[in-house]
Amino acid sequence: MRIAIVTGGAQGIGKGVVLHLLGKGWKVAAFDRDDEALADLAAESGSQPLLTQAVDVADEDGMAHAFAQVARWTDNAGLDLLVSNAGIADPVSGPIEELSLQEWRRWQDSHVTGAFLAVRGAVAPLRAREGSIVLMASTRALQSEPDTEAYAAAKGALCAMTHALAISLGPDIRVNAILPGWIETADWQKASARSEPEHRPIDRTQHPVGRIGVPADIAGAVEFLASDAAGFITGQQFVIDGGMTRRMIYAH
């Protein structure tokens, strides 16, 4: 049985990845700081092999404890996949001249420090099974709306970490980044926060594929990148955005 850790696995894209992998027969540990969302996930996953760990990915001691729990749960069997996905999903940090250092650090901690601690904890068990890593970046590493510097910087850092890690950890461990575009997650939240997605027609039609993304669009790519079919792919960035970053947007 293949074994994965997914951070931020209790809601949104991470939850989509967790349920997809469970459905494909994987054993999955979901790390998330939201207890209520983790409890919902555990209930939804039924009797499938899921371990939930309540942890903030930027908390060094908490992450060490969570990795120890996974090692115990798997009898030190190692790891096939780490999906480092947790982070503040809101890209808007506000005008740069009003952004406090403390706020700036919230984005860097959850995305960049969280990825560092997740990768550091996963390297030894991944080596044992020649596993792979997927870092969840964003198309906002490549292009921007105003007032999104903290998020853009964090996602750019993850893209740089991807190639650095691929060189450091190869040939044992492959490392790739996924850069999602607009992925609708309103209906992938914990029950108390769930809502029906509402979109304007233009939200859909502006995408070259004619729709907004869903967590399954990312989960399928994660599964592929973790598979032997992707054995020659490392250090790469995969934009999954329905073609939005390929659209020329000069005003007419």
- What is the separation of C-alpha 154 from the centre of its chain, rounded to a whole number of angstroms? 13
**Encoded amino acid at 160, one letter:** A
- Give the SS3 label for residue 189: coil
Determine the Cα angle at 40 with ends 36 and 44, to 5°.
170
Residue closer to ligand NAD (CB basis): 126 or 136: 136
| Distance in Å, CB of 132 to ligand NAD, minimum | 18
**To which residue do tokens 């996949």 refer?**
81
| Distance in Å, CB of 110 to ligand NAD, minimum | 4
For residue 24, which phi and psi values (nearest 5 degrees)?
-95, 10
Query: Could you list the residues that contact ligand NAD (CB under 6 A)?
Result: 8, 10-14, 32-34, 37, 56-58, 85-89, 110, 114, 136, 138, 180, 182-183, 185
250 is catalytic: no
DSSP string, 125-153: HHHHHT-EEEEE--GGGT---TT-HHHHH
Task: Indicate which residue of 26, 31, 67, 151 is catalytic.
Answer: 151
Residue closer to ligand NAD (CB basis): 135 or 173: 135
Residue closer to ligand NAD (CB basis): 106 or 129: 106
| Distance in Å, CB of 175 to ligand NAD, minimum | 16
**Residue with smallest beta-carbon separation from ligand NAD:** 12
**To which residue do tokens 């007419």 refer?**
252
Residue closer to ligand NAD (CB basis): 85 or 93: 85
| Distance in Å, CB of 104 to ligand NAD, minimum | 15
Determine the Cα angle at 201 with ends 198 and 202, to 5°.
110
CB 52 within 8 A of CB 41: yes
The CA-based dihedral angle spanning residues 136, 142, 147, 153, taken in that order and rounded to the nearest 10 degrees: 60
Q: Which residues carry out catalysis?
A: 151
